Amino acid sequence: MLQAPGRRTGFLRLATAVRAMAAGPTVLLPELRALLASGRARLFDVRSREEAAAGTIPGALNIPVSELESALQMEPAAFQALYSAKKPKLEDENLVFFCQMGKRGLQATQLAQSLGYTGYRQCWLGRLGPAPSPASLTPLFLHRAQNYAGAYQEWSEKVG
């Protein structure tokens, strides 16, 4: 049976999104851009210092995944002294972890959740594909700690 062009592509996008959500809470590039534009996201680059020094998403705080557990368990003053940034609070929304390809970002998201960064917030999931229209938006509840599924690789290719 023949399918109209684009129908299969839409199905593949849906399947990819469902797999990503099953693996852990994720944020996709359009939502990440909106969160960054509104100043409502805290980004954590969990790659090594060397990888982050070669390029990162503007505004991201680099905490290698190997240090993340101890960093998130530090007292706020110690965190501030070591990372020159405020320690995230358990109730903070839009904590977004990312790496180069996605695996360490997901690992970091799951670690943050296990440490208590598990509150929920409402966000919006639109139809899959580029720039959803407001009419196609549906409410969805996601974890506050999220993985940027596209990782730095997608950001560097599509944003800059």
Question: Is 104 within a domain?
Answer: yes
For residue 16, pLDDT over 70 is answered with no
Is 99 a residue of the active site?
yes
For residue 43, pLDDT over 60 is answered with yes
Q: Catalogue the E-assigned strands of 33-77.
A: 42-45, 61-62
pLDDT of residue 22: 44
Determine the Cα–Cα distance for residues 36 and 113; give it in Å rounded to an integer. 22
Question: Is 11 within a domain?
Answer: no
Question: Is 106 within a domain?
Answer: yes
Tell me what the mean pLDDT of segment 8-29 comes to. Answer: 54
- Its domain, for residue 146, covers 24-158
List the CATH number of the domain containing 119: 3.40.250.10
Question: Is 39 within a domain?
Answer: yes
The model's pLDDT over 52-104, given as tens digits with 9 standing for 90+, comes to 999 999 999 999 999 999 999 999 999 999 999 999 999 888 899 889 988 89
For residue 27, pLDDT over 90 is answered with no
Determine the Cα–Cα distance for residues 119 and 142; give it in Å rounded to an integer. 9
The better pLDDT of the pair 147, 5 is held by 147
Tell me what the mean pLDDT of segment 37-56 comes to. Answer: 93
Question: Is 7 within a domain?
Answer: no
pLDDT of residue 24: 61
pLDDT of residue 91: 86
Q: Based on the structure, what is the number of domains in the chain?
A: 1
Question: Is 3 within a domain?
Answer: no
Question: Is 44 within a domain?
Answer: yes
Tokens found for residue 118: 């598990």
Determine the Cα–Cα distance for residues 63 and 71; give it in Å rounded to an integer. 8
Active-site pick, 65, 99, 145, 149: 99
Question: Is 17 within a domain?
Answer: no
